[in-house]
Amino acid sequence: MIKLIIEVLENNEVIEKIESQKDLFTINALRLIYSCFPRGGITLIDEGGDSFPSGTTDDAWDTKLITSIGIGTGGTAPSFNDYKLENKIAESGISIKNYTEDVQNNQIYFDIEANFNIAQQTTIYEFGIFGLAFDTYYGEMRKILISRDVISEGITVPANSTLKITYRVYFSQ
C-alpha cells in the first residue's frame, strides 16, 4: 500500500496537508520489479513516449526503481498507460527516510521524500515518481514514470514556500 502525503510549508510550518491512498504505484512498481529478474524482460515506455525492451540481459540490475519525484499542473485522471506527467513543472531527487518496523501493527514502512521551493504561487495537481530502466537494445539508462497521481482539487502553494511530497510505502509482514 502507498500513501501520498502532500504538505505546504511556510516558514517551516505546515499550512496545508493532504493525504490519500494510492494503488497505481504498486501495480507499476511490481511491473518494474518483475523486469529486474533474469528472463523477466518487458517493454517499457520512457518519458518521450518511446518503447524499449528492459530486463532481458545481465545489465538489468542497473534498473533503479525510484530516482526522483516530479510535480505538475496537469489534471487528467491517472491511467496505467501514463508514461509522463501531463504538464511537469519541476522534478527533484529523493531522500529515503524513516525505515520503521512496526511490530504492533505487523508492518514495515519507509518514506520517499522530495522538497520543492516554489517561487510564485502555483496550484499543483499531479505528482509522479520516476525511475531509471536499462534499455537492453541501446545499452543505456532511460527515465520512466513509475507512478502518476492526481489530486483533483489541487493544492495551492503560496509564493516563496516549500512543497514537501512524501510517498509512504507500507508492507505487511
Cα dihedral across residues 110, 115, 121, 124: positive or negative = negative
pLDDT of the residue at 29: 59
pLDDT of the residue at 90: 97
The residue segments making up the domain with residue 62 are 2-172
Q: Considering the chain, what is the average pLDDT of its residues?
A: 81
**78: closest CA among 17, 23, 133, 29?**
23
pLDDT of the residue at 150: 93
pLDDT of the residue at 56: 46
User: What does DSSP assign to residue 46?
Assistant: B
User: What total of structural domains would you count in the chain?
Assistant: 1
pLDDT of the residue at 168: 85
Spell out, as residue ranges, where the chain has pLDDT lower than 50.
35-40, 56-57, 59-61
DSSP string, 100-139: EEETTTTEEEEEEEEEEEESS-EEEEEEEEEEEEEETTTT
Q: What is the pTM of this model?
A: 0.76
